[in-house]
Amino acid sequence: MEHFLGVRLSWQTTPAIFNMCWSAGKKVEFEGVTYTVEELTEKSFAGVDIALFSAGGSISKKYGPIASDAGCTVVDNSSAFRMADGVPLVIPEVNPEAMAGMKAGKGGIIANPNCSTIIALMAVTPIHRAAGVKRMVVSTYQAASGAGQAAMEELELQTKEVLEGKPVTKKIFPFQYAFNIFSHNSPMTENGYNEEEMKMVKETRKIWKNPSVSITATCIRVPVMRAHAESINLELEKPLTEEEAVDVLSKAPGVSIINDRQANRFPTPLDASNEDNVFVGRVRRDISRSDNHGLDLFVCGDQIKKGAALNAVQIAELLL
């Protein structure tokens, strides 16, 4: 999967694709049309209304302000600006008001949240609005796609190697990935949490504008090709029954319910793969409590689509 730096969106004509010099000249097909990748320069943003950035933090930090100063409105998929003051961190179904007043061609930067944060908050925010979330405990089961095309290819290769009794190739991760799980590969921080876990904590507080909400996360890499899964426990300010929670979720935009207890049928990563919506199930009262102030959920969402690309395009659409 090629991670292009920016896409110039002209809603009346055609997009242009930019990347660094090593990708210039490559051909990319989109909806039956072949485009040639252009080399990114500081002059690339002249006359551009919206740019979608997805090339890593260092490139975003350098070229995002340049694009904004040129009047181009930037939607950035890296972590470069997520926690920056004055930069909206947006999930369109959750907090579109954060980017109120921003328009295409008027400059400014909008940050796309981390994929795990987006998938969690698509499910949890409707409940937060209904009953108020005091504390959220999340365990994620994250697919290879979150680490890029090379990780997906290594998982496929290792699976073949294990089944054929061969030593596994380990280039992307230091651990065997096939038939194994391990702690998320992001760097560890001093408090014992990795950066992925802390992103969920900090980003949720910013998106909800609630610095006091209690959040803890454990992020795990699992040998699934695409779509993340998350187990979520909620402590609520006001009581909410299972039935009320399902009703709230069934009305939430971008959420699909798979919650058939009789058939033991709940969301799976395969259900969510290549789908726009986030899937929610296993909705149940937290029986460790004696009241209706606790809920458990299981959530699956496509990390590439709603967890990244789709969310960025939805932000771009709000700019028009």
Side-chain half-sphere of 234: how many Cα atoms within 13 Å? Answer: 32
- Predicted confidence at residue 82, as pLDDT, reads 98
- Predicted confidence at residue 38, as pLDDT, reads 85
- Predicted confidence at residue 24, as pLDDT, reads 78
- Predicted confidence at residue 12, as pLDDT, reads 42
- Hey, what are 289's tokens? 């409590």
Q: Rounded mean pLDDT of 24-41?
A: 84
The band of 22, judged by pLDDT with boundaries at 50, 70 and 90, is low
pLDDT in tens, 186-197: 999 999 999 999
The better pLDDT of the pair 172, 10 is held by 172
Tell me the one-letter amino acid at 242: E
**Active-site residue flag, 228:** yes
- pLDDT above 70 covers a percentage of the chain that reads 93
- Hey, what are 309's tokens? 């690309």
Share the mean pLDDT of the chain: 93
Q: Point out the catalytic residue in the list 128, 184, 219, 228.
A: 228
The number of helices, as runs of H, and strands, as runs of E, in the chain is 7, 15
pLDDT in tens, 100-116: 999 999 999 999 999 99
Question: How remote is the C-alpha of 56 from its chain's centroid?
Answer: 14
**Active-site residue flag, 115:** yes
- Predicted confidence at residue 4, as pLDDT, reads 38
Q: Point out the catalytic residue in the list 72, 115, 219, 300.
A: 115
Side-chain half-sphere of 312: how many Cα atoms within 13 Å? Answer: 26
Q: How far is CA 16 from CA 35, 39, 138, 289, in A?
A: 7, 11, 39, 54
In three-state secondary structure terms, 317 is: helix
